[in-house]
């Protein structure tokens, strides 16, 4: 993604932050440009999206964050400003101190510290699922029905990793029902921040919903380079979460569903 240029930032956001001193660019995903602003009024995170799909995701994230800001005590960034202009969407968010769990794990070579990080990661996933879901995030449609409809739409309209055959398979072989709760929708080691081993934030909430907690857990423990490639990492995570609620079939199912998002 192309870094955000100072002159591109909407005037409304510039006025709000008052005199930008610097913009730095953290490691970021493929859906948005992210900059960390230092200004007269302090630090902020700025996100910019440029396509209809990603604009819609950012707008959804802002809606979810506003509900979470108002109705929960989860460590999520406060929404400062949201601007839609010239086919782009801009979100100015509170800056949360810390680095991602993944970054912290790559720097940690002490077995006990690694286990503690993964236990704390499991605990924060549990905390999300134990938090009462704001009524505004509850959909009349069953979460999995909605996800399968979105998956079919994404397959037709966007580039996705899943195939038509796989989609038919997951439509026909749904997992057993599980009690719904607040879920994040992409609760990976890249979306939880820690500072000195303590969780300081949960970011990137565009998939936030009243849904199936097994989806979050499947994505949380999905192997990445040097993370969750060993059973001991999963053991530490589930120690923090309070035990596994996944069968192997559940895990495969939800990872297959993620291929369309």
For each of the chain's 261 residues, which pLDDT tens digit applies? 567 888 999 999 999 999 899 999 887 667 889 999 999 999 999 999 999 999 999 999 999 999 999 999 999 999 999 999 999 999 999 999 999 999 999 998 889 999 999 999 999 999 999 999 999 999 889 999 999 999 999 999 999 999 999 999 999 999 999 999 999 999 999 999 999 889 999 999 999 999 999 999 999 999 999 999 999 999 999 999 999 999 989 999 999 999 999
Count CB-CB contacts under 10 A for residue 92: 23
Query: Are 68 and 205 spatial neighbours (Cβ–Cβ below 8 Å)?
Result: yes
Give the model's pLDDT for residue 36.
94
Query: Are 203 and 82 spatial neighbours (Cβ–Cβ below 8 Å)?
Result: no
Looking at residue 78, the DSSP 8-state letter turns out to be P
Looking at residue 71, the DSSP 8-state letter turns out to be H
From residue 110, give the alpha-carbon distance in Å to each of 106, 114, 227, 245, 250: 11, 6, 14, 28, 32
Task: List residues bridging with 45 in a β-sheet.
Answer: 36, 93
pTM as predicted: 0.95
Residues found in the chain:
261
Give the model's pLDDT for residue 1.
57
Give the model's pLDDT for residue 2.
67
For CA atoms 199, 232, 222, 237, the dihedral sign is negative
From residue 52, give the alpha-carbon distance in Å to each of 98, 173, 178: 30, 31, 33
């Amino acid at each position: 993604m192309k870094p955000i240029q100072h002159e591109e930032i909407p005037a409304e956001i510039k006025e709000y932050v008052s005199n930008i001193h610097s913009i730095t660019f953290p490691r970021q995903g493929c859906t948005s440009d992210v900059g960390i602003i230092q200004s007269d009024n302090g630090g902020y995170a700025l996100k910019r999206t440029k396509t209809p799909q990603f604009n819609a995701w950012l707008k959804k994230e802002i809606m979810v964050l506003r509900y979470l800001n108002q109705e929960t005590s989860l460590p999520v960034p406060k929404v400062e400003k949201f601007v839609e202009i010239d086919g782009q969407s801009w979100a100015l968010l509170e800056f949360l101190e810390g680095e991602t769990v993944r970054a912290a794990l790559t720097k940690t070579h002490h077995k006990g510290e690694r286990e503690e990080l993964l236990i704390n990661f499991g605990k924060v996933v549990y905390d999300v699922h134990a938090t009462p879901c704001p009524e505004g995030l509850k959909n009349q449609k069953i979460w999995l029905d909605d996800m399968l409809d979105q998956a079919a739409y994404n397959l037709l309209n966007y580039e996705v990793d899943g195939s038509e055959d796989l989609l038919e398979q997951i439509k026909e072989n749904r997992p057993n029902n599980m009690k719904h709760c607040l879920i994040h929708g992409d609760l990976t080691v890249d979306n939880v921040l820690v500072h000195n081993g303590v969780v300081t934030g949960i970011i990137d909430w565009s998939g936030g919903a009243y849904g199936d907690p097994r989806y979050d857990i499947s994505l949380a423990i999905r192997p990445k380079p040097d993370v969750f490639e060993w059973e001991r990492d999963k053991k530490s995570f589930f120690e923090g979460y309070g035990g596994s609620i996944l069968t192997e079939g559940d895990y495969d199912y939800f990872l297959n569903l993620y291929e369309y998002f």
